[in-house]
Structures are given as structure tokens and as C-alpha cells.
């Protein structure tokens, strides 16, 4: 396949994303080699450029859009989340992109509860693939899907989970 095709750029970008994390290591940043952190940043910046180029060439390419959302965790900044999520949700209003946008909004990555709530308020009602997917279900889903660390937001989500019988959240009940 032509290496400049959107699919090839997306495949290469996901490869660079994975290599970046492999170079970084699995521990928290303070326990990782600083050269590994720099290497991850470099690979993730290359990946972002490829994901971005792929979405420009093929705006409906969900795998490239997902990459932009996921890389907001390490490279491109949270301001890009709203832009990319809006762009892709008008094309594919599904839970997948919304939840991938939640990874960089986890508290351990500098996210804030208000950001999660804003996205859930805006997009949960668009999702028709999960019956009864309300903003409240979305917030709990986000906390467990993106594996928010223990803390106030997780505590609130856990309490809401005990009061919320929504069957879609059964996976979260296993992770209490």
C-alpha cells in the first residue's frame, strides 16, 4: 500500500504510539528513565502528525480520529479534544470516540471533573447504540473506562454506580 495513503499513515501512527509507550516504560513518570520520556514524546509527536494528515485526507477515518483523541493524553493538549470530538461525533455519534476522549481527562493526566461532565452533557444524548445512555451514565462510564485513579471523582462515580441499575455499567461494578 502507498505509505502516504490515510490507512498507511494511520497504521504507522499507531505503531509509533505503541513504540513511544514501550520506550517510556510502564511505571509512573517519576520512576521512568527521562530519556524514555523524551523518546515517547518524539514518537507521539510523529504519530500525531500522521493521524492529523490522515484525517485531513480521509475525514471519516475513525482510527485516525481515535489516535488524535488518545494522543491528547501525552502530546497535543486537551484543547484538541473538543475540536476532534465534535468533528467525529457528527459523523459517528457512538460511545467509542467519546470514551477515548476521556483518557486524557483522567485526573492522573491533569483532567478535571468539569471537562468530563461537559463532554457527557454534550454527547451522551447523541449515542443511540446504548439504550438509556444519559449524561449520568456517561460520567460513571468515563471514570471506569478511562481508569481514573482513586480519588474524589472515582468515589462519586462509585456511589452513583450503587444507585444506578443501568445494565451497561455491569462491567464497572466488577471494578469497584
Q: What is the pLDDT of residue 48?
A: 94
- Would you state the cell numbers that stand for residue 173, as one nine-digit string? 461494578
Assign 128 to helix, strand or coil. coil
Q: What is the pLDDT of residue 176?
A: 59
Q: What is the pLDDT of residue 58?
A: 97
Q: Tell me the pLDDT tens digit for each residue of 131-142.
A: 999 999 999 999
C-alpha to C-alpha distance for 32 and 11, rounded to whole angstroms: 27
Q: Check: CB of residue 74 under 8 Å from CB of residue 20.
A: yes
DSSP string, 96-113: HHHHHTTGGGSGGGT--H
Q: Tell me the pLDDT tens digit for each residue of 35-82.
A: 888 899 999 999 999 999 999 999 999 999 999 999 988 886 777 888
Q: Tell me the pLDDT tens digit for each residue of 80-106.
A: 888 999 999 999 999 999 999 998 888
C-alpha to C-alpha distance for 110 and 16, rounded to whole angstroms: 23
Q: What is the pLDDT of residue 35?
A: 86
> Angle 62-131-83 (CA atoms, 0-180°, nearest 5)?
35
Amino acid at each position: 500500500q502507498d505509505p502516504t495513503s490515510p490507512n498507511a499513515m494511520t497504521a504507522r501512527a499507531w505503531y509509533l504510539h505503541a513504540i513511544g509507550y514501550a520506550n517510556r516504560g510502564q511505571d509512573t513518570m517519576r520512576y521512568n528513565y527521562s530519556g524514555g520520556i523524551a523518546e515517547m514524546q518524539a514518537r507521539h509527536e510523529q504519530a500525531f502528525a500522521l493521524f492529523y494528515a490522515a484525517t485531513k485526507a480521509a475525514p471519516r477515518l475513525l482510527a485516525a480520529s481515535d489516535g488524535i483523541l488518545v494522543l491528547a493524553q501525552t502530546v497535543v493538549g486537551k484543547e484538541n479534544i473538543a475540536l476532534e470530538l465534535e468533528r467525529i461525533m457528527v459523523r459517528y455519534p457512538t460511545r467509542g470516540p467519546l470514551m477515548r476522549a476521556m483518557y486524557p481527562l483522567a485526573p492522573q493526566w491533569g483532567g478535571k471533573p468539569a471537562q468530563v461532565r461537559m463532554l457527557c452533557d454534550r454527547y451522551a444524548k447523541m449515542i443511540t447504540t446504548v439504550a438509556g445512555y444519559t449524561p449520568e451514565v456517561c460520567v460513571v462510564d468515563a471514570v471506569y473506562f478511562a481508569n481514573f485513579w482513586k480519588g474524589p471523582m472515582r468515589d462519586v462515580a462509585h456511589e452513583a454506580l450503587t444507585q444506578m441499575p443501568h445494565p451497561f455499567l455491569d462491567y464497572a461494578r466488577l471494578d469497584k
